Structure 1
Amino acid sequence: MDLTQNTAESVEFMVEAIKDKLKVMNFGAIKSTHFDIDMYEELHDIYRMVMKKTNFSVREMEAIAEELGKLRNK
């Protein structure tokens, strides 16, 4: 997947990868369609940070969920 391209497919890939990596969290309600392409860079930043880490504290997972919530379409 070429994540340098700002596409709906890239957004879907990143959201699914974040959900897979953070299995502990309840991401069932979060879908790629909830994110606007205009927020691509912010989502990509979160994706890169999540993919770099192997473990997450509860506080880190809460912060990630909060940030994803801020990026969702209103």
Structure 2
Amino acid sequence: MSLEEKSEGNLAHIIQEMSRMLKVVNESIMDPNDYDIDKYDELKSLYDLLKQKGTLTVAETQAFIAELREYRK
């Protein structure tokens, strides 16, 4: 799957994967419908960083979630 193309499907995949990687308990905060496709590039950058980083500390996880909140509709 190529995530370089902006699409609703790719956005949903990125959000769902970040939710899984961040081990989010309350999945309602990671509903792909709550994120705007206009923020795709920023969300893709966060996704790439998260994939590269792998394991996060608790503080890093909280920072990622806080950053994701900024991109919600």
| TM-score in terms of structure 1 length | 0.90
Q: Deviation of residue 27 (structure 1)?
A: 4.1
Take 1:57 and 1:17, find their aligned partners in 2: how far apart are those partners?
A: 18
Task: Provide the aligned length of Structure 1 versus Structure 2.
Answer: 72
Say if 1:8 and 1:37, in contact at 8 Å, map to a contact too: yes
- Aligned in 2, Cα 1:27/1:18: closer, same or farther, shift over 3 Å? farther
Give unmatched runs, 5+ long, in structure 1.
none
1:13-32: CA deviation from partner (whole Å, max 9, x where unpaired)? 10111111111x32411211
Task: Tell me the equivalent position of 1:7.
Answer: 7
The 2-side partners of 1:59 and 1:52 are apart by 17
Contact 1:6-1:37 within 8 A present in 2 as well: yes
Root-mean-square deviation over aligned CA pairs: 1.0
Partner of 2:45: 45
| 1:57 pairs with 2:31 | no
Q: Which runs of 4+ in 1 moved over 2 A?
A: none
Counterparts of 1:41 and 1:71, CA distance in 2: 11
TM-score, normalization by structure 2: 0.91
* Aligned residue number for residue 26 of structure 1: 25
Q: Distance in 1 between matches of 2:31 and 2:45?
A: 18
Give the percent of matched residue pairs that are identical in Structure 1 and Structure 2: 25
AA of the residue aligned to 2:10: S
